[in-house]
Amino acid sequence: MKEFEIIIAAISSIILFIFGLDHFSIELQKITGEKFRKILGKLTTVPVIGLLLGAITTSIIQSSSATSVITISLVNSGVLSFKNSIGIIFGANIGTTVTAQLIAFKLTAFAPIIIIFGFLLSFVKSRYSIFAKSLFYFGFVFFTLNLISSSMSPFQNDPRVVSYLTAPLGPMLAILIGFVITAIVQSSSVTTGLAIILTQQGLMSLDNAIPVLMGANIGTSVTALLSIFNMDIAAKKTALAHLFFNIGGVIITLPILYLNKDILIFSSDPAIALANFHLVFNLSTGLIFLMVIKPFTKLIDALLSDGKMDFERFDFDFFKEEHTFEEIEKELLLIEDRIYDFIQENYSLVTLSLETNYKKILETVTKRMDYFNFVKKDIQSNFTHLLGATADKKQVKRYVLLMNQYEYLFQIDDSIRDHISIKELLDTNYIEMKSDVLISLRELTGQLLPYFTWTKDASNGIKTNKEFKEESQNVQEEVDHFRESILKLMAKEERNDAGVLYNLGSYSQRLKDKLINYQKIKIQYKVKTDE
């Protein structure tokens, strides 16, 4: 009965450790999310910098799985290229070695102090209070490691347990155990922490613990592989690279262990030796693969071929310092035109997702909008840079007019995002639109979708202002008709589908007004530039 209680206490402590690690990672991602994306997008063209970023990020959020999944999602969204993601993947495993070192040197004793400090910081009215939860969970993670250690300490005096855990497992079986545990708990830090604690207590030999850690590295690839369903080919390449990198590291290191493992551990203390192995193993693997990154990348490309991205990505090379004002202005206008088409296609997909129950359409447009959100922030940031670097007053005015055009595009995008909230409300409440509402919806969207083309043609002089005003009036009449139809249906208590779609009238009105304003600012820009 006593042994059963010890096992339950140990399992409970491990569950708390996983809980703390997960929440610590989430809190850090909340704080660093958008900045992290931007830094990755800008700096990862150099593989060594990518490796350092991957290592630093993982050491902060304490999860190589989280780093790899974030990286894969950024590749999938177009923020990162496959080639730029490789360095981060190489560095992610290095970052996990921080946890091992902290545990091995018993710095977990400071955990209660960190918990108390994080708790007290949450009551302080300061900008630094945003770090309160992160600090609390950081302390919580290492406090639970102490709980695991304490709960397992009675086994130190049990000869049956000691003989079982210290008995040679064989490297392949130990690697498999490390892989399975990590794949189940979705964190190599959990496996690493447990291995070091068991080694500290003499419950696991180094001969068993070392291959367990190697298996844990391969196990982190499972999280990444699970995240790639319905993703682009580039994201799948990144996940495959992550798997091959981890397997390759094990294949390279195993022969060295057979020859002389002492050259990888540098300590007589078993726990410190294990932590040192973890560091040397991951660091050397990262550096070796960094030296062969080109052939490694070509191998992944050959295995999965080039594939096809599911939507267009934007390249902002017109913001280079050596470009003249005229070159930048020309590129800005070209990109603006492409963005307009991109937004129009988003509206088409949003309306199609409203009219159908095909989830793939909603997933696609959500992905496109997530990517465009990043693009929007990048453009706004670069406009600020351009305005700050330009001294010529005429050029500043032209930049401001161009920036206004982009801002109206962003407002149009905001109105389309409002439409998605209606789709989410329908799905959340399991509401199915009846035929009369569906007909009204199709009539409205059927009038608004071509209006994008009308707006573009009117801006470029293909349609006259008179023709555009007449078409705008037709669209307005359709919006008014939709509102009237929905209001009549809402009078019936059982028509909850009409109630959900009521706001679509307002959203469509805003979209139409913003398209008109966009056309006006485009005409204004042409008049000013012709003066």
Contact assessment for residue 148 and residue 197, using Cβ atoms and an 8 Å cutoff = yes
CA 415 from chain center: how many Å? 24
Contacts of 224 (CB under 8 A, 6+ apart): 65, 68, 69, 72, 238, 239, 242, 243
Rounded to an integer, what distance in angstroms lies between the CA atom of residue 285 and that of residue 244? 12
Contact assessment for residue 524 and residue 401, using Cβ atoms and an 8 Å cutoff = yes
Dihedral of CA atoms 97, 99, 100, 102 in degrees, nearest 10, equals: 120
60's tokens: 């902060």
102's tokens: 């902290």
How does pLDDT run across 83-107, given as a tens digit for each residue?
Answer: 888 888 888 888 877 777 776 666 6
Rounded to an integer, what distance in angstroms lies between the CA atom of residue 129 and that of residue 119? 10
Task: Tell me which residue of 271, 278, 146, 297 sits closest to 206, measured CA to CA.
Answer: 271
| Amino acid present at 346 | N
106: left (phi over 0), alpha (psi -120 to 50) or beta: left
State the pTM of this model.
0.62
Contact assessment for residue 420 and residue 366, using Cβ atoms and an 8 Å cutoff = yes
State which fold the 317-530 domain adopts. Methane Monooxygenase Hydroxylase; Chain G, domain 1 (1.20.58)
CA 339 from chain center: how many Å? 22
For residue 494, give the DSSP letter: T
Q: What is the CA radius of gyration of the chain?
A: 29
pLDDT in tens, the chain (531 residues): 466 777 787 778 778 877 876 677 667 656 655 556 666 666 677 788 888 888 887 777 666 766 776 777 677 766 677 888 888 888 888 887 777 777 666 666 777 888 888 888 888 877 777 778 878 887 887 787 677 667 766 665 566 655 665 666 778 888 888 888 887 766 777 778 788 888 887 778 888 888 888 888 888 887 667 666 666 777 788 888 888 998 998 998 888 877 766 655 666 777 788 888 888 888 888 889 988 888 998 888 888 765 555 666 776 665 666 677 788 888 888 888 989 999 999 999 988 888 887 777 887 888 788 778 878 877 887 788 777 777 778 888 888 888 888 999 999 999 998 888 888 888 887 888 888 888 888 899 889 999 999 999 988 888 888 899 999 999 999 999 988 888 888 877 778 778 778 888 889 999 999 999 999 888 888 877 766
Domain ranges of the chain: 2-304, 317-530
Contact assessment for residue 365 and residue 353, using Cβ atoms and an 8 Å cutoff = yes
30's tokens: 């909340």
46's tokens: 């150099």
